[in-house]
Structure 1
């Protein structure tokens, strides 16, 4: 009935999820230049290292995913960041609070397994 286009679906998934993720990471990116020590320390590495890891997962990696460069590799820190948010930062919160982070984790985990598709720099 309908012709499937896996590559178009992957483009929509990776650009859509990554653009939305950038909205979470942009403020953290700016915080690097204003007050990098005023950040949580969910995994015991210190606030500055935690902020850098969050910026990589929520700002740098999504840019790579949008353009389709090293997509599978770039999706890993974003997935991990969202799992930390869901299961450590929001550990005692109800599922409704964790839901957004879990949804992002699922999206980026799928991207890590599938890659970027042909509409990307990677063209895998």
Structure 2
């Protein structure tokens, strides 16, 4: 049964998770412009490619998700980026260190599963 607050809750989830992830992604734009070779390469595809993939997952995708534009598809790069962060970049770290990436991962999985809700560009 659909609760009258479900769409509001989805909007809060989308904007909250995506807005917070942007705080991690936006500083990477400066790295791309100044020293992309200094970015880590956890997938072995090259530093610059890894950085661009991170920017797609942490900047481009969250902007689409905030707007509610192609939300389910946009959540996929965010999910991938957070999975890499949790299970590759922080694989040897303590749970406390990888916890943030795991929380983002769970949030974006939920967004991918349920979609944007009524308060989104997709529903207009």
Match of 1:10 in 2: 10
Superposition RMSD in Å: 1.1
Structure 1 portions without partners, runs of 5+: none
Runs of 4+ in structure 1 off by over 2 angstroms are: none
Match of 1:56 in 2: 56
Cα deviations by residue, 1:8-38 (Å, 9 ceiling, x for unpaired): 0000000000000000000112221111111
Cα deviations by residue, 1:40-75 (Å, 9 ceiling, x for unpaired): 000100100000000000011000000000000000
Match of 2:102 in 1: 102
**Number of positions where the alignment pairs a residue of Structure 1 with one of Structure 2:** 122
Match of 1:37 in 2: 37
Residues in 1 aligned to 2:51 and 2:93: alpha-carbon distance in whole angstroms: 21
Alignment of 1:52-91 (within 5 A): 52-91=52-91
Q: TM-score, normalised on structure 2?
A: 0.95
Residues in 2 aligned to 1:29 and 1:114: alpha-carbon distance in whole angstroms: 30
Match of 2:46 in 1: 46
Q: TM-score, normalised on structure 1?
A: 0.95
CA shift for structure 1 position 4: 3.8
> Which of the two has greater helix per residue?
2
